[in-house]
């Protein structure tokens, strides 16, 4: 596809406002990902709302109904879309390993969870990537639960978009993001969680450590629709900067249109505490070791919460 056919997004678009979009002009990746399941049409997926969705649908499209409790997916690049459907009360652990791929790649995993089903997802980047756009979308029926853990190491451009729809009482979604970036890498997370009814529950925790000239952003929105009384939502985002050249952007948002709800959000962007560093150095630790321990303590909550 040419750049004009792809309609390259820019930071002028609201959902891309914190992204350095220049690497998107890279050539498409030549590698291909092997997908499980059967071929399916583009209309099996929701209406695309992002460039990532459109680019992914332009590649291979497949659907799978797992018949076991675990599924491993090796993402080697290219454009692809996979529909995952869980039966009532089915439990599935899904591991996605992202491998480095030269050029531009886009993927979309759309998951439909039937009543009482449980999905645990670990999405991890084995090494820093080139230009990689990834989308997750989840539809949860009554008493269904989804836990998504994302580990980002960045690249020329890495952006992941999450859309979670809590459609029936008892549905629960948990999202954990852990990012560690250095050099000039960038990694971004855009999350949209919708409480369509109540009672439903969602939790989001994002932590990122940035060194050198790395760049990261978190853009999160919780929507509580009219009539979704009893919803319980929490969103937290924390960035730790290890260099004056590092950049972090955070945009936590609430759109609450129901009365009887619990909803909160918070964000911090800061540096290592000088007093904590001094405390460790006074006890004989070298500067680098003291910094390593403080970074590990900062990330520990997210690491423990990962699926």
Q: Name the residue with tokens 């699926």.
A: 307
Nearest to 164 by CA among 187, 150, 145, 177: 145
Mean confidence (pLDDT) of the chain: 93
> pLDDT by residue (tens digit) across 184-207?
999 999 999 999 999 999 999 999
pLDDT band at 3 (very low <50, low <70, confident <90, very high): very low
Nearest to 88 by CA among 25, 29, 170: 170
pLDDT for the residue numbered 6: 63
pTM for the whole structure: 0.93
> pLDDT by residue (tens digit) across 133-159?
999 999 999 999 999 999 999 999 999
More confident residue, 126 or 252: 252
């Amino acid at each position: 596809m040419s750049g004009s056919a792809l309609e390259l997004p820019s930071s002028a678009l609201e959902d891309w406002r914190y992204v350095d979009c220049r690497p998107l002009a890279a050539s498409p990746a030549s590698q291909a990902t092997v997908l499980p399941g059967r071929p399916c049409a583009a209309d099996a997926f929701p209406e695309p709302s992002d460039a990532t969705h459109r680019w992914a649908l332009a590649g291979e499209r497949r659907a799978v109904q797992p018949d076991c409790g675990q599924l491993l997916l090796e993402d080697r690049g290219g454009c692809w879309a996979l529909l995952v459907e869980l039966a009532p009360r089915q439990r599935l652990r899904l591991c996605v390993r992202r491998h480095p791929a030269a050029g531009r790649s886009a993927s979309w995993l759309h998951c439909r969870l039937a009543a009482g089903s449980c999905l645990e997802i670990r999405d991890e980047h084995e090494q820093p990537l080139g230009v990689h756009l990834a989308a997750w979308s989840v539809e949860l029926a009554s008493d269904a639960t989804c836990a998504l853990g994302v580990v980002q190491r960045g690249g020329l451009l890495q952006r992941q978009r999450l859309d979670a729809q809590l459609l029936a009482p008892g549905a629960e979604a948990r999202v954990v993001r852990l990012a560690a970036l250095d050099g000039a890498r960038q990694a971004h997370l855009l999350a949209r969680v919708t409480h369509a009814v109540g009672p439903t529950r969602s939790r989001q925790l994002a932590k990122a450590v940035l060194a050198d000239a790395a760049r990261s952003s978190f853009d999160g929105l919780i929507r509580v629709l009219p009539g979704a009384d009893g919803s319980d939502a929490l969103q937290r985002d924390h960035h730790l900067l290890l260099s004056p050249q590092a950049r972090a952007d955070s945009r936590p948002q609430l759109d609450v249109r129901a009365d009887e709800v619990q909803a909160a959000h918070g964000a911090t962007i800061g540096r290592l505490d000088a007093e904590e560093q001094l405390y460790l150095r006074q006890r004989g630790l070298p500067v680098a070791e003291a910094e390593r321990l403080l970074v590990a303590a900062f990330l520990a909550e997210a690491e423990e919460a990962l699926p």
